[in-house]
Structure 1
Amino acid sequence: MYISRVKLKNWRNFVEVDVPLRRRQFLVGPNASGKSNFLDAFRFLRDIAKPDGGGLQRAVNKRGGLSRIRCLNAHSKTASELFVGVEISRSDSESILDRPKWIYEVGIKQHRSGSVFISSERVAKDDRLLLERPDSLDEDDKERLQQTHLEQVNNNKEFREVSDFLARISYMHLVPQLLRHFDEIQGNIMEDDPFGQGLLHRMQQANKKTRDARLRKISAVIKIAVPNLEEIRFDRDPFGKYHIAGSYTNWRPRNAKQYEDQLSDGTLRLIGLLWSLLENDSLLLLEEPELSLHSGIVRNLAGLFHRAQKGKKIRHQLFISTHSAELLSDSGIDGGEILVLQPSRISGKGTTITPSGNIKGIKELLEIGEPPGLIVIQQTVPQDHLQISLFP
């Protein structure tokens, strides 16, 4: 399954958004245009749906409350409800004519006391309505509106497939320093491990056969991307601690071995990205995967992500935010796979999201075969960017 459409109202940067989605989606836009906040809408649904420590109240509170996630640009008359909705499809064709298998929508409001409640919740399957709240039971007991049916095992039997799918959404923005110096900083692994601190733990939890198969695939890529690096292994040192180990060729008869504290930022990020691709079977959210990587590698990342999933029974959906023209230069990327985020200068409008193939000027260039990368990135340059050079 994959998310084929998302609708947002009063969500962070976005007053109202209704955009179709592909299995692979790139997000581009100026700084602070809302790329991370767009991805966070899917993490929000994940946080509601996940069975261990999830739920609506938890999802809202971990973001600082409803006032922190509600759009500041929305007009007061329409800003009372925050709304997130997704359509989930089964088809591999990605045709706009295909009807979604599932629709899940949730609206949220806040009492004057500050407590959050469900203003609407709706589930449909194959155009058949399964759930619409508030219902008569909610009217009799208002406390029920503090929880979604999505998070409740007793109430989501008819659409548990949706709950399970959303709960498996994952996010990765690996920070090499947190992985490399985990012991020194004595850091706790954050919930859902968004920054890759727990990569070693996740590798250890995988069964040996699965782990070795994934590392062979990763090694095949690393050999091309990193000079003299022959293999990536999962090793245990004499003290019983596990490590990511890289085997390097050199003038000696035996290869030299380096653990994660010696591997470069780019190498660690690439290992983390590939591991995340191979372990996940739902939507994977990546932020700026080009960081710390050579431009020659970045140009091939899009194809690399595609090939990394070869042989998987279930190929997951991938959303990637980026500022890199090199990443978008892959000839296999079409205009519908790039979403352009454009903040409005008009008060109350918020950020808009448009497939690049629908933007005048870009559409014509794509039709004559121009690579999308530089064209789209130029579209997102702030209008007054040259003023930066005048800074004293």
Structure 2
Amino acid sequence: MIAFKSIKLRNWKNFGNVTATLSDRIFVIGANASGKSNFLDSFRFLKDVATDGLQKAVKARGGIEKIRNLNARNPSYVEISVILQELNDGKTTDWQYILQFNYAGGSQGKRDTNISLEKIIKDGEIIKERRYNDSGEDYLSKQFTLLEQPAINGSFRPIYEGFRNISYVNIIPQLIRESDSFIPSNAAEDFYGRNLLETISATPERTRNSRLNVINKVLKMAVPQFSNLSFIPDEKGRPHLQVKYNHFRPQGAYQREDQFSDGTLRLFGIIWAILDGEGLMLLEEPELYLHSEIVKQLPMFIANAQKLKNGGKRQVIISSHSYDLLNTDTIALDEIILLKQGKEDTTIEAADELESVNVKIQAGYTPADAVIPQVAPEGIRDGQLSLFEFN
């Protein structure tokens, strides 16, 4: 098992030079356009580098022109640096991976990417380091990381595996409902739940039933009439979710996923994703489609699902700007980081290091009351901004 302990971003999109400390569960809180998605994308970028290579990862984001902070000066390179901790048979190993990259030659829009620095540190000792001007490096070798080469990365394979196991989840209920068009997919990843039923179908029956039992208990807390969650094929052999709703009819009524509410499907998909797989999971705005009272319970649902992972918790990073999500006493301040927009870039602050936030928590306020005002658009709480003022 490997967990991310911190990340440093330099000239990455709207982040100039920031560092964030990470725990098993982190809530990334910020206003609209503050950079929440860009923060999550830095982890997805590391996964893409390990899976597809640096050049493809950069081009998939529109080239360095789209990645590098518009206000980058000197140094102008883009840097992502992470500290990880590996736990294996009770032994802890600390790792650090540093990657700096910049323009190579080529015309606008066709430029390749050169590695300025790549460094790998194990328990405080540098085991690999290469720089742009190292002897023996030619034009081509500077475009490939050590990380993406299995023949080379054996001595730091845990970093490689940690990056490859990163997953991104943003469940879209409408896609899950398309069960009538169930077609096995060759896609490497399913960010939005399009192939959730396919994934469940491919899961060994014993594991599948165990997870469905857990999800049934969680969903019953959110929807009291909900019971008997199961996974069954229809007359054509296509897989479906089925649940019994207890209501005024003595025997209740059964429904399939195409009749589930958006919130029920999204919550189901989120919990299944936490239980299904290893490594860091990126969860974007989980409050979408959910009733405010359910949103308040989400942190507890996520924490309970994390505890069920064999060998330790699955690390989850959650982005949000929802008051309801933080309106609970089940989130600690050291699990919250704040994104604040400045004139040139976005900064990151740890909630537990802000005196004004700590004062409110000590006075009995929830994290929502203590934190949300910190990231609200400037002037909106003072009545300076109004949706009704168009002139």
TM-score normalised by L of structure 1: 0.90
Question: Paired residue for 1:111?
Answer: 104
Taking the aligned partners of 1:204 and 1:186, their CA distance within structure 2 comes to: 12
CA contact (8 A) 1:281 1:315 kept: no
> Letter of the aligned partner of 2:12 in structure 1?
W
CA contact (8 A) 2:86 2:158 kept: no
Distance 1:106 1:184, change over 3 A: same
CA contact (8 A) 1:138 1:145 kept: no
Q: Which moved more, 1:148-157 or 1:239-248?
A: 239-248
The correspondence of residues 300-379 of structure 1 with structure 2, limited to 5 A, is 300-313=297-310, 314-345=312-343, 349-379=344-374
Question: Paired residue for 1:85?
Answer: 81
The correspondence of residues 95-174 of structure 1 with structure 2, limited to 5 A, is 101-113=94-106, 114-134=111-131, 139-174=136-171
Taking the aligned partners of 1:351 and 1:140, their CA distance within structure 2 comes to: 35
Taking the aligned partners of 1:287 and 1:141, their CA distance within structure 2 comes to: 40
Distance 1:182 1:14, change over 3 A: farther
Taking the aligned partners of 1:317 and 1:180, their CA distance within structure 2 comes to: 28
Q: CA deviation at 1:196?
A: 1.2
Equivalent pairs: percent with the same residue?
38
Per-residue CA deviations over 1:180-204 (Å, capped at 9, x if unaligned) read 2365699978652111111112112
Taking the aligned partners of 1:274 and 1:117, their CA distance within structure 2 comes to: 40
Query: SS at 1:330's partner residue?
Result: coil
- For structure 1, list consecutive stretches of 5 or more residues without a partner in the other structure: 93-98
Distance 1:362 1:250, change over 3 A: closer
Question: Paired residue for 1:197?
Answer: 194
Taking the aligned partners of 2:192 and 2:272, their CA distance within structure 1 comes to: 13
Q: CA deviation at 1:216?
A: 0.4
Q: Which moved more, 1:32-41 or 1:16-25?
A: 16-25
Q: CA deviation at 1:262?
A: 1.3
CA contact (8 A) 1:55 1:148 kept: yes
- For structure 2, list consecutive stretches of 5 or more residues without a partner in the other structure: none
Q: CA deviation at 1:282?
A: 1.0
Q: Which moved more, 1:233-242 or 1:355-364?
A: 355-364
Query: SS at 2:101's partner residue?
Result: strand
Taking the aligned partners of 2:16 and 2:355, their CA distance within structure 1 comes to: 23
Q: CA deviation at 1:137?
A: 7.8
Query: SS at 1:389's partner residue?
Result: coil
CA contact (8 A) 1:74 1:350 kept: no
RMSD between aligned residues: 2.4
Equivalent residue in structure 2 for 1:56, among 48, 54, 57 = 54
Q: Which moved more, 1:262-271 or 1:184-193?
A: 184-193
Q: CA deviation at 1:277?
A: 0.9
Query: SS at 2:102's partner residue?
Result: strand
Taking the aligned partners of 1:182 and 1:354, their CA distance within structure 2 comes to: 43
Taking the aligned partners of 1:326 and 1:29, their CA distance within structure 2 comes to: 14
Q: CA deviation at 1:179?
A: 1.9
Taking the aligned partners of 1:185 and 1:111, their CA distance within structure 2 comes to: 44
Question: Paired residue for 1:265?
Answer: 262
Q: CA deviation at 1:64?
A: 1.6
Per-residue CA deviations over 1:287-327 (Å, capped at 9, x if unaligned) read 11111212222112111111123342231111111122221
Taking the aligned partners of 2:323 and 2:386, their CA distance within structure 1 comes to: 22
TM-score normalised by L of structure 2: 0.90
Q: How many residue pairs get matched?
A: 378
Taking the aligned partners of 1:154 and 1:137, their CA distance within structure 2 comes to: 21
Q: Which moved more, 1:362-371 or 1:289-298?
A: 362-371
